[in-house]
Amino acid sequence: NALAFISFKVIEWTVKNGIYVSTSSNYYPQGNGQVESTNKNLLRIIRRTLDENQRSWHTKLKSALWADRITPKRST
């Protein structure tokens, strides 16, 4: 499912920039626990900051990302 991310140009660019690319199956998203945990935290932060207008969630995303990124994480 990640064919867009394995083209020669993308691989060449990631190697040049020292980036390691890892993919997970879209049929088993729990296989990427770190991403699932971050998504859960972001949703929790956004829900807590939303007012009556539930459609404005996208305006809270930048602040939610910042809050999640500066929060110390405990490794498991």
Nearest-10 crossing angle of helices 33-49, 57-70:
120
Output the six-digit token pair for 15. 């190697």
For the chain, what is the radius of gyration of the CA atoms?
16
Length of the chain: 76
Query: In sequence order, which ranges of 1-76 are alpha helices (DSSP H)?
Result: 8-16, 33-49, 57-70
> What is the per-residue pLDDT for 66?
92
Q: What is the pLDDT of residues 11-57, one digit of tens each?
A: 888 899 998 877 666 666 666 777 788 889 888 888 888 877 778 88
User: Cα separation of 37 and 20, whole Å?
Assistant: 21
User: Residue 70: is its pLDDT beyond 80?
Assistant: yes
Please state whether the predicted TM-score (pTM) of the whole model is above 0.75: no
> What is the per-residue pLDDT for 36?
82
- Domain positions in the chain are 1-31, 32-76
